[in-house]
Each structure stands twice: as C-alpha cells, then as structure tokens.
Amino acid sequence: MIINADLHIHSCFSRATSNNMVIDAIAPQAKLKGLHLVGTGDGLHPGWLEIIKDSTTPQGDGIYSTEDCDFIITAEVEDNKRVHHLLILPSLETAHELREKMVSVDKEKEGRPRVRMNGAEIMDLVHDYDGLIGPAHAFTPWTSMYKAHDSHQDCYGKKPDFLELGLSADTNMADVIKELQDVPFLTNSDAHSPWPHRLGREFNQMEVEDISFSSLKNTLKRKKIKANYGMDPRLGKYHLTACTKCYQIFNPKKALELKMKCPECNGTIKKGVDYRISEIATWNKPHHPYHRPPYIHILPLAEIIALTYSRGVTTKGVQSIWESLVQEFGNEIEVMINAPMDEIKNIDKEISPAIQAFRDKTLIMVPGGGGKYGEIKFPENNLDKYL
C-alpha cells in the first residue's frame, strides 16, 4: 500500500508551539491534508505520552490511532553539541524507558529535550531499543548535523537510518554529497501548529506492507520511499546566507569578509544551507543513486489562496475557500496535484489560475534566509495568461 507520512512535528509541550498541537486537533487536520501516518513528536515528554495514551487506541506494532489518523511515536532531541536528532520509536513503553536513560528527568521540561550525550551515544541507545535515528533538518545553520560536523561519520560513527532534508534543502542539493548516496531522505513538516499551511507542508510518500512500526522500518531499510514532497528550498528560512536581524542577503564570501556581522544593523549573518552544502559537496551536480525517489515541490494550498486574495493565511475568508476545495476533492494534496482544473474553477475561478501556475512551475520564488521564509509571487505580477 502507498501512504503519505509526516514523521516530524511537535506537541504543545515544545517551545514556540501552538496550544492546539494536541491529538484531537492534529488528527482531523492530518486527514484533511491527505496524510495517513503522522509522527507524534515530543515522544520523550511524559505529559505528551499521557495525552497520546488517553487520546488514541493502540493498534499493535507501534501504531496509535484515532478515527482520522494513525500515529507513530517520534521525538526530537538535542545532543551535547546542539545537534538535533529525529527518533522513530517502536512503542510508548520504549519512549518511557528511553526518557529515563537519556533525559535529566527533574530538570528537563521541554518537549524537545537536551541530553548530555553525543550523536553516537544516542544512536547506540536508540538502536538498543530497536528504534530508528537520523539527523533532523540536517543542513540548517543552527542545530544540525552539518552545522557541527563535516560528515555523518563524525557525528554517529556509522551511517544513520535516514536523513531529514529540512525546508531549506531538497534532493538535488543533498545528492552532491557522496556519503549520502546510501542514505534514504525524509521530508517532514517540523510543524509547530496543526493548521494546513504547517502540518504536512513536507511529507513522504511510502510503499509499506501495512501501517506499523515494523513495516515503516522495513521500508526505510529497503529504501522504498516512492516520493519526497516538499517546499521549494528557496522558500526555507535558511536557504541563503543572510542577516538574522534585518534579513539582508549576502554573498557568502562577502559575509566571511565582514566576519559574519551585518554592516547595516550589526546583526549576525548566518551561513545559508546552499553555501554550507557547497562547502562539503563531492560533486558540482547531483548524483542520484538508483533508489532515490523523485522530489516533488509542493506548496500549502492556504498560502496560494492567501496570495491570490491578498489576505492572511489564517483569515476566515482564506480558510473558507480552503475548506470548500478540500471538501470537494477529499484532501489538500489532491487539490494541489490531481484535481481537474475545470472543476477547481467551478468552485473558485480566482484560485484555479494560481494552482495552474504552481503546477506549471511558473510561480516566482523570492529566496529566504537568516530566519525569514522566502516569498511566492505570481509571474509578472498577474495571472492573465492562465485565465
């Protein structure tokens, strides 16, 4: 069977996360998005584990279900070098045991805990419990594997089970690094709210025997990911080298000459993902291994609607149009990729040309950097040729 899976989100117990990040809100939104399997996130937080237990029904083999969505236990941890790791765990019981061995229980209250271990130690412990581990948002300039290390061997001492690309990178960027040729890539949302422009903004299409931990593990081991769906990396917050205060974009070499200090506002300049990858690249062009699935760029439908009507993503008008389209075609992924354009036009004639422009890849992407998301613009500031 083919499923859509978003394996990295956060709960209401993580810093800067919506109070609505609870199972009862996440599950119905996941269904509307078109997701079949969602990682719980924050699987080392006791309060969140209790909510999962109380809000879902165990299905066996690591799956906890609601009427709308299946969940698998996942967590993100920060090691002693500030590298973030994504864990996929076989059960709630495993999560409780790992927390006791990894986390300073009395001091750590954060959904994404800091642990006094390095990457290799975390990997060995997770593998002792039959779990899976890989670097989260592997290239970002703050808390990533390739921020602290030049190689996954330096971080783990061995190959990770997967690598999460993050919003500012895609397969074409990562496949210039030789050591990643045998590592499956994941694309996940890292969502901090359940709303449709966050949850499932990146997801994995996978071939699985059934929805279970064992099947997911087998899929990753056999590299049976059918497609990675994700944002154009130019829209990521750290794609280009930029100031973290005023967001001015800099040529990386000029930024180094400036000692990573912005001459306009004295803010800190952060190295962009594109430049960091160029520093550790083996080749100038991507070398895709035989098992690498296609990477398909996708945008949140709510952002397309908001851009069309010049309104906020969470405004009632935008959400009303989003709901109409999703109700008609079943879920958001279907609307963006497969729904017939004439049928979309019958529901909202203003949105259909914008979705067509997305499908034609003619939308203009203004790159992000320094912590600011990139922007979407319509071609030539209008969509007349699509009407």
Q: What is the pLDDT of residues 248-296, one digit of tens each?
A: 999 999 999 999 999 999 999 999 999 999 999 999 999 999 999 999 9
In this prediction, residue 284 carries a pLDDT of 96
| CATH class given for the domain over 2-232 | alpha beta
pLDDT band at 387 (very low <50, low <70, confident <90, very high): very low
Q: Residue 366: pLDDT above 80?
A: yes
DSSP single-letter state for residue 325? H
Residue with tokens 């279907």: 334
What are the DSSP E strand ranges found in 126-224?
132-135, 163-164, 185-186, 203-207
Residue 315 scores a pLDDT above 80: yes
Taking the C-alpha atoms of residue 195 and residue 29, their distance in angstroms, rounded to an integer, is 7
Look-up: residue for tokens 């119905």? 28
Residue 108: the pLDDT is 62
Q: What is the pLDDT of residue 381?
A: 52
pLDDT for 206 beyond 70 = yes
Residue 384 has pLDDT above 80, yes or no: no
Q: Is the pLDDT of residue 48 over 90?
A: yes
- Residue 228 vs residues 68, 276, 293, 375: alpha-carbon distances, Å: 23, 22, 7, 21
Q: Which band of pLDDT confidence, cut at 50, 70 and 90, is reported for residue 209?
A: very high
Q: What's the pLDDT score for residue 264?
A: 94
Closest CA to 14 of 168, 152, 141, 190: 190
* Confidence bin at 105 (pLDDT 50/70/90): low
Residue 386 pLDDT > 50: no
Q: Which pLDDT belongs to residue 292?
A: 97
Looking at the predicted structure, is the pLDDT value of residue 239 above 80? Answer: yes
Q: Which two tokens stand for residue 145?
A: 């594997």
Poorest-pLDDT segment among 39-48, 105-114, 310-319, 357-366: 105-114
The pLDDT, as a whole number, for residue 81 is 96
Q: In whole angstroms, what is the distance from residue 381 CA to residue 163 CA?
A: 37
pLDDT at 379: 82
At 305 the pLDDT is 95
Instruction: For CA atoms 167, 171, 172, 176, give the dihedral sign.
Output: positive
Angle at 173 between CA 169 and CA 176, to 5 degrees: 145
Pick from 358, 348, 347: which is nearest to 383 by CA?
Answer: 358
Chain center to CA of 328: 27
Q: How far is CA 46 from each of CA 49, 95, 362, rounded to the nearest angstrom?
A: 5, 9, 46
Q: Are the CB atoms for 87 and 153 separated by under 8 Å? A: no
Please list the alpha-helical segments (H only) found in the chain. 23-33, 46-55, 92-102, 119-128, 145-148, 152-156, 171-174, 213-221, 252-257, 273-280, 301-309, 316-329, 332-337, 341-347, 351-360
User: Can you tell me the mean pLDDT for 5-18?
Assistant: 95
d(CA 98, CA 115): 11
Is the CA virtual torsion 245, 251, 253, 257 positive or negative? negative
Q: How do 70-72 and 37-39 pair as beta strands?
A: parallel
Residue 372 phi, psi dihedral angles, 5° rounding: -110, 130
Rounded to the nearest 5 percent, the helix, strand and coil shares of the chain are 35, 20, 45
Matching residue, tokens 């309104």: 311
Task: Give residue 59's pLDDT.
Answer: 96
Q: Report whether 350 contacts 309 (CB < 8 A).
A: yes
Q: How does the average pLDDT of the chain come out, rounded?
A: 94
- The one-letter amino acid at 69: C
